[in-house]
Amino acid sequence: MPADQNEHPAIGPEHQLPPPTDAPSKRRSGAVRVIMWIVILLVFAAGFWLVLHHQEQTTAKAPRGGGGPVTVTTVTAQKGDIGSYLDAIGTVTPVYTSSITSQVNGIVTAVHYKEGQIVHKGDPLIEIDSRPYRATLMQAQGTLERDENVLAQAKMDLQRYHEAWDRRAIPKQQLDDQEKIVLQNQGTVKLDEGVVQYDQVQVSYCHIVAPITGKVGLRLVDPGNVVQASGTTTLVVITQMSPITVIFTIPEDSLGPVQERLRNKAVLTVDALDRGGQQKIATGKLLTLDNQIDTTTGTVKARASFENKDAALFPNQFVNVRLLVTTLHDATLIPGSAIQHNGQTAFVYVLPDNTAHMRTIKPGVTDGGTTQVTGVSPGDVLANSSFDKLQDNSKVVIAGNPAAPGNAPGGSSPRGNGSGGRNPGAPGNAATPGNAATPGKASTQGNTNSQRSTPH
């Protein structure tokens, strides 16, 4: 019987598919977990945003200075003089430094100086054995004495020949020859005198004396050492200590004002400060400028002179130099700590009525923490603290002045009722110009700028 064409052949167990599982339920459980994590993250994000938003609203609502007047210390703009200085670095340079070497050959017989001693010009320093040179000098003196006598004899003969020639007792040629002999002997005597002087100089070289007044360095030779005239061994070094100079550089852009003052015969004061620039060592005056600008640095060298009687300046010492170029008279001066900056703009807070008013200024010369400015007037009271809390038109309380009830710093009333009262601008509490010159001490005198505030 023929087989049914639609009948499928039997399949073995090893070729059968596994029974179907519950796949839809597994997919549903995975999706639920993903959704739960998304919800959790959204909840955390919403909470974080709410916290930040609350802090921003609190900060925006809370006024600067803790909700009340800002307590500040004040300074008063003054009218006075201030110097315009050029700051530079310099090196202490002696006017004279003498490194003495031997001019003769010989043995050192004595050293007369002590290390670090202050010697004066002409003081003996070192002795070199001079016996060979004194013997040579004696020989030269003997030769000179002999030739001087020969010259004297020739002159006597010349006198006799003149007398004989007057009587026509001798020929004219003999007289002329004798005249030339006298001239020859005179030349010989001059030669001998030069030899004597040379030997005297050689003997003097054996006795070394101080050429300048100054301080002697460490001993470089000892008795018994042999020195050579052609050698380079230094026997002693003397450095002049007083007066002494400082060499420093001036920028070429600042050369004009300095030259103008020098042409007017002005004496420019120069201060030498220590390495840290805090302590003044000595005060001197500018001597001169170099005759050309260093093209590699764009500066010109200058030399200043200092008396240095106390030896405060030491040769080759590094110092900071301040050159007083000119002095500004009747300038408006304020402490540099009162100046604030916003980019390239400088400003201060002026307190005419216990209210901070921002005012733009132009700083100028600065000296020792004091700055010359334009934009404020002498007598203006300026804020000198609490700049992080101040802004334009902020109410302020001057440190040292009693705060009126209801306006204590922080905005709370002493009685706890928060009711209105007098603000720091009440009579008797105004910081009038000229009464708050010292930071931290507010003025309590006068009521020129005082006013009564509206209760709030």
In the chain, pLDDT over 70 holds for what percent of residues?
A: 79
> In the chain, what are the domains?
85-95+240-328 (2.40.30.170), 102-129+206-233 (2.40.50.100), 131-205 (1.10.287.470)
pLDDT attached to residue 401: 59
Predicted confidence (pLDDT) per residue in 289-337, tens digit: 999 999 999 999 999 999 999 999 999 999 999 999 988 898 999 998 9
Residue 297, pLDDT score: 92
Mean pLDDT of the chain: 82
pLDDT for position 414 = 37
Query: Do residues 395 and 72 make contact, with C-beta atoms less than 8 angstroms apart?
Result: no
* Whole-number Å distance between alpha carbons of 77 and 182: 94
Question: From residue 74, how far is each of 71, 262, 371 by CA, in Å?
Answer: 10, 41, 16
* Per-residue confidence (pLDDT) for residue 220, from 0 to 100: 93
> What is the C-alpha separation between 332 and 76, in angstroms, rounded?
10
pLDDT confidence band for 151 (50 / 70 / 90): very high
d(CA 419, CA 23): 74
Whether pLDDT at 386 is above 90? no
The answer to whether residues 378 and 366 touch, using CB atoms and an 8 Å cutoff, is: no
Summarised one tens digit per residue, pLDDT across range 236-295 is: 999 999 999 999 999 999 999 999 999 999 999 999 999 988 899 999 999 999 999 999
As a residue count, the chain comes to 456
